[in-house]
Every structure is written in C-alpha cells, then in structure tokens.
Chain A
Amino acid sequence: MDIRSQISMVFHLDKCIGCHTCSIACKNIWTDRKGAEYMWWNNVETKPGTGYPGKWEDQLIYKGGWEKQDNVLSLKGAGKRKGLSNIFHNPNMPVIDDYYEPFTYKYLDLIESPAGDDQPTARPVSLITGDPIDIKMGPNWDDDLSGSPDYARKDPNLANLSPAEQEAMFQLERMAFFYLPRICNHCLNPACVASCPSGAIYKRGEDGIVLINQNECRAWRMCVTGCPYKKSYYNWHSGKSEKCILCYPRIEAGHAPACMHSCVGRIRYLGVILYDADKIEAAALADEANLIDQQLDILQDPFDPEVIESAKQNGVADSTIRAAQFSPVYKFVKKWGMALPLHAEWRTLPMLFYVPPLLPVMASLSEVDNTEQAAKMGDIAKHWDDNWLYDTSTEELWGSIEQARFPLQYMANLFSAGDTEKVKTVIKKLMAVRIYRRWKTVGDISEEKSNETLQQAGLTASTAEDIYYLTSLAKFDDRFVIPAAHREQAIEMLEDTGDKKGSAGFGFKEGTARRGP
C-alpha cells in the first residue's frame, strides 16, 4: 500500500447549462496571450458532436492515449520508439485548422472610419496573420447542434451504434443533447507525461496536478499527440506546449480553480482523493471488462485506519487526510458510486469524474392521439399537427431508461468504456433520487413507489437526502474542499525561518551595517 493524495474533480452533467462561463473565466486568466488564443484549457462541447479539436475522440486519427497489447501497455502514437522516430515531423498531431484559426474583429474601424454612405463594419481578422478572414470554425462551433450532419452525426462515439439506433437518436421529435465541459483530467497514468521526450511534464507528488515545465519544454509536440483528451496545446508563438494547471496558484491559496468558482450551474466539485499508487499499474493494464472497476478500486476509503496509517507514513498531512474525508469527490465516486471517468478505455486513469446526465435519457416519447386536445384549442392557439407526447412521467419505473431517447450505449461509450450496465446503475440512482424527492415535494408519487425505487437502485432514504443535498443545495464549502498547501513547510526546507529574528524583515536579508551580518 502506497497511499498518496490527489486533487480530484466531479462534474455533474445534469446541472450544466452550457453557458461557457467556465471557459471564459479560464481564458481571461490563463490563455489570453499571443499563441494561446486558440487554446481553451476548459471547453464545453455539445454531445453528440465532434467537439474541440474536431473529432478529438477518434484515436484512429490522433493516436492518443495508451493501448494494451499482449499485457504490455504502450502509447498509441508516441513513446520512446514512435516518439523519437517521428521527432522531425509528428504524423498524428492536430494542427491549427483542427482547432480553429483564432480571430478578433477590427472594432476600431467602427470608430475611426471616415464618414460615408455606409455603416462601417468590424471585419474579422486572423489573430495569427492579422489578415481579414472568413471565420470557419470556433471553439464551440457545434454548440447545441444535435442532429446536424456535420457535427452530431460525425461524433466518434456513434461508431458502434447501429444505423437504426443512430437514425432514431436524431429524429427531430426525439432529438436530445447535453453538454460536456472538459478540462485536463490530471490523470494518474498521464499519457502527456509519458510521451514528453524532454521530461518537461511532471505530476506533482503532493496533489497530483500535472504541469509542463516551460523552461524544459522544447516543442517536440509529443504530448499533444499523447494526451487522448487533447488537453495539451502547442503555443505556436512561444514554441512551448501548455495545458490546464488546475489553477494551482489558487488552489495553494485555498481558492477553487477559476472555472469551478465561476460555474453558473454549480456542477463542479473538487476535493482530495487518497489513492493507492501500488495499484496504478494493474489498473492501467486491466481487462476491457474490468476497466471501470479497477480504476475506481485505486481510490481508497479515507476513514480506513490502514489507509490513514499508510498516508501518514508517506507524509500526507493530517489536514489533507481530513479534507479527503470531507471530499465531495469521494462521496460521488466511491460512496454513492454515481460518477464515472470519461473514456476509461484510454487508460490514462483520469481523475475527473462525471455524473452522467439523466435528462436526455429520462423522458420517452410516445405516440398519442392529439385530435381531441387540438380541437379544444382556439383558432389563435398555436398547435402542431403531430402526435408525439414528450413523456416525463414516472409510471413505468425503469421503462424510460430502456427506451431512452439516447441509447444507453452512447452514454456507455463515453462514461463506462462501453459497458451499458455501469451507466445504467448510475442513471437508476439519479432517477431514484429524483422520484424520492418528487414524492417528498410534489407528492404525486406514492411513498411505496418511492421506497421501491430507492431500494432497487440500492439507496436508502438518508443517502438519497445526502445526494440531493450535495447535488442541489451544496454551498461553496461543500463543493470545494481544498486542503491546505502547507507552503510554510516548503519554505522551511529552504530557509530557517527562526534565525532572522531581529534583522530587516521584508524582501532582503542583509543585516544593517551597524549591527553586522
């Protein structure tokens, strides 16, 4: 047992409203610079959709992540042999046009144009060349475009759905979508670190944040290929790669990362997870069928005395262990089993977990005869000549899951490496809590039914209350349990903080002439 601590996250997808506030908060702080304009360390995409960069999930194109062959784990498109032999030209790297050409508008023209017959316009110009361009792509170009042939239907996660299933998914009447906010997952088996020939990328031992040392990066660009989530970006201006730093300066000061702090839907949770580093290798090499189980198995119970003992031996601070015990991430992922990693099959062991969305699954569509209803409406009332009923009733307990508007396989492709049973379990829990609360607040569901649902989902009433609280009512301090960084200990390693008593205090350390050094 080798217990370490990791700052880990949960995103609750039912709550995301797709407002992109998170992306803007991040951009304003970190990537509003030359060469970084195109980077969105935090981006929000619509699913089904191709995402950013286009089709990033299609590893036949980008060759990201790890693959297991004959019980050996190797990087799909990088690594010692492949990386070094492709060092002059990386054949699997996305280029700027796979993201988009960054642009701005010539706003000054609106003010400075001479008087004329026509309104002045602010033309879009490229942020690379400065030339006027026709904007072809943006970081969220597929926003809300479910069903569209160019975006939604090219979603790589549709690959193993039958044509009929795909068609059904995109029928106008049934169409649904949800938002998928993404940041770097600060993985336990990061492919970006492993693929960097310079050794510039590293994982911080204390909190597991993955960073790129800007002084050591030499622009070999292998991390861009290595990361299957495409969360390492190449800065074309500075010739260095950059990625999400999980706002570590904020975390060290006890603040939530900017994207999480600003999140309008309050979908984001952050806390410490204690994990067993000895289990990483086995989990990364797990069989297809056990991927999720083994990846979650690394995460340990922070109340287990053995775990605490081992953590202490490794020097994890008491305050960190306490933070782990209050961690919302631990609750969602381990205690309640409601959050899953995104694309576990890439074997980077991501430390960002998602509560899969219930809403696009839940409602079902049934055909009904609407003529009677339509006849009741007056001439001016607008009504449609269709006979679909968008049915969110909870009559059939799990019926709507089976006949979901979204095939469960699609959700499973994203969140449980294709295993539909796993997402189904989670969705049942989400649904059970919903039914339970509906009994409590609306009252149109009987107590027996509510209890039956809870029981079938494996929850108790008090757990359901806890889940409800953390989902809907949680305050800032419930959502973000950030351990102290103990910078003072780091400072004490470098300086004896006691021996300068009585000397000049701020900024410099020389003694005065009169008193001597």
Chain B
Amino acid sequence: MNTLNNFLFIALPYIAIVVFLVGNIYRYVSTQFTYSSLSAQFLEDKQGFWGTVPFHIGILMLFLGHLAIFLFPEATLAWNSNPVRLIIHEGIAFTFGLTVLIALIGLMLRRLFNKRLRVVTSKMDIVIELLLLTQVILGCWIALGYRWGTSWFAADLTPYLWSIFQFDPQIQAVSALPLVIKLHIVGAFVIVLIFPFTRLVHFLVAPIHYLWRPYQVVIWYWDKQKIRKSSTAWTSHRPQNN
C-alpha cells in the first residue's frame, strides 16, 4: 500500500510535471503546426453551441477555482468560515461541475452520432474525453459525498500540493483520504501527464496578447532602408554564417 501511495502521490506527480514541461515545449518548438484548437464548429454548428460553450466556461471556472484554493488556502478557509458563504461557494462549484458533466456528455453524443465529426475525432480525443468525464463525475461525487471539499482541499490538499513544488512531498494526509478522492487526484495527474499529447494544448496558447496588440500586423522581411546603403547594410543583423 505504501509503495503504491508513494508511486501515485510522489512519483506520478513528478513524472507528470516533467513530461508536461518537456512535452509541451518540445512540441511547441518542433511542431508548432499541431498547436490548434481543432474546432469542429465548421462541420457542426448548432448542437455544438450547447455543448462547447457551457463546457469551456465550466471547465475554466473549475480550473480557476482549484487554482485559487491552491494559491490562497487561508482566504478560502476564512470565506468558508461562515456557513452561508460556504454553502454558496460549494453550490457554485457544484453547479459548474454539473454543467461540465452535462456538456461533456452532450459533446460526446454529438461526436458519436455525427458522421462528419467522427472523421475529425482522433483516438487521443476519445481518451481525453473519457478522462475528463471520469474526472468530472468523481468531482461531483466528492462534492456530494465528502463535504465540504472546498474547505478540506484548502486544509489538506493545498499543503500536499505545495510540498510537491517545494521538493519535499508530504503524503500522510493524502494517503489517508477515501478512495474516490484519491482517484480524483490521480486522474488530475494523469491529465497533466498526457496533456502535451492531446488537443488540450490550445489552452496554453490562448490568445490573451490580442488584448494589447494593435489591430493591424505588418511584417517586413528585411530592413530595406538599411540594406540600400552599404554603410548600414549589416548593422542590424549580423550575417549568420560567419
């Protein structure tokens, strides 16, 4: 049991993080062409709307929620100390969980029954879809069966996750958790692990920089002004072969 816990909560997260970093950077540098959201809206528009919008908003909120508790455990506990606020917090989180669950099932059925979409569905898409589905089901189950997750996440899991990043993994608390929660944690690491091999990479290249970029983009291949004069021809770029 101990070995298994050690593997799942110490080895696995490190492997996942290393693969995540190396994999994503390597893929970005070597085959950037594969970085795409691979949107299927062009082939199926109307049903997709009801799946993809709630899914994306929901999963983004869940991700940010988990991230917030990881980053600000004290603030979370302080907020949750009032029962009304705790229930609101849990309620919102659960609603997003449910949203994602329903949307994911909808998107899966859409892929299943639309021949055009099956053509653009890869094996990895199915793997990641099932993984996310399991993860959301477990998450909802935990929210209902092991209350109050937002609080014990902050109290038990945040220190564990931090200990990983501080290279001093403390797994006592995690090892003692019920199986469902353990599965949820392991599922998260597995997603991080296979992330670079899936279409999820488009999350990493979300176009935030659009906000501060000027609308028009003009690229000059070379600085003709300089190249016209022999005195300045090679001042901005040094020729690369000597």
Contacts and interface: CB of A to CB of B under 8 A. Distances in A.
Interface residue SS majority, chain A: loop
B202 interface: yes
Given A95-B45, A214-B33, A221-B42, A314 B224 contact: yes
Given A199-B210, A490-B221, A499-B241, A218 B227 contact: no
Contacts of B219: 202-205
B110 to A, nearest CB: 13
B42 A201 contact: no
Interface stretch (B6-14, B52-60, B73-81, B136-144): B52-60
Residue among B42, B52, B217 with most chain A CB within 10 A = B42
B207 A84 contact: yes
B113 interface: no
B221 A206 contact: yes
A216 interface: yes
A237 interface: yes
B242 interface: yes
B36 A88 contact: no
A80 interface: yes
A197 B207 contact: yes
Interface string B213-238: 10111111111111110000110010
Interface string A7-35: 00000000000000000000000000000
B1 interface: no
Contacts of A128: 43, 116, 119
Contacts of B94: none
B49 A194 contact: no
A456 to B, nearest CB: 42
Interface residues of A, number: 59
B242 A496 contact: yes
Contacts of B95: none
Given A93-B42, A193-B217, 6 more contacts: A80-B211, A90-B41, A129-B115, A131-B115, A203-B219, A312-B228
17 contacts: A79-B215, A88-B52, A89-B52, A95-B42, A129-B119, A189-B216, A194-B215, A194-B216, A198-B210, A199-B209, A219-B38, A220-B37, A234-B39, A236-B42, A314-B225, A492-B239, A493-B222
Interface of B: 32-33, 35-45, 48-49, 52-53, 55-57, 115-116, 119-120, 202, 205, 207, 209-211, 213, 215-228, 233-234, 237, 239-242
Interface of A: 79-80, 83-84, 87-91, 93, 95-96, 128-129, 131, 189-190, 193-194, 196-199, 201-206, 214-221, 234, 236-240, 312-317, 489-490, 492-496, 499-500, 509
8 pairs of A and B residues whose beta carbons are closest in the complex: A315-B224, A197-B207, A205-B220, A239-B36, A496-B239, A194-B215, A239-B38, A315-B225
